[in-house]
Amino acid sequence: MSLVDEVGGGLDGLSQLRALMASGRRPGILVALDFEFVEVEAGRAVFAGTPGEHTYNPIGDGGYADTLSTPLAPARCIPFLRHRRPVRPSS
């Protein structure tokens, strides 16, 4: 079971994000980069974080700022989704 299903299964996307925030639990990407949700509303998601050694990218191709944008696009779209069903690859 996914984290979203545990805290907001059966809810629409915006309600899922709000339930996730209210639970105090964070998806792996938020834990790994040590940032968290600040607020979420339809069409807007705000995250906060502080870069540190854990975010150092020796290649220098976008680094922390680029990585922050990875969850932002889906977070902006999720509130507009109705109940989501997991997509499983066919056998």
Structure tokens belonging to residue 10: 């059966």
The pLDDT value recorded for residue 56 is 76
Report pLDDT digits (tens) over 12-39: 888 888 888 999 988 888 888 888 889 9
Report pLDDT digits (tens) over 58-75: 776 666 777 666 655 666
Spatial contact of 48 and 79, defined as CB atoms under 8 Å apart: no
Domain contains 88: no
Which residue segment(s) compose the domain that 22 sits in?
A: 3-80
Q: Is the pTM of this model over 0.85?
A: no
Domain contains 85: no
Domain contains 21: yes
Report the distance separating Cα 14 and Cα 81, nearest Å: 8
Spell out the long-range contacts of 59-66 with Cβ–Cβ below 8 A and sequence spacing 24 or more.
64/33
The pLDDT value recorded for residue 88 is 57
Domain contains 86: no
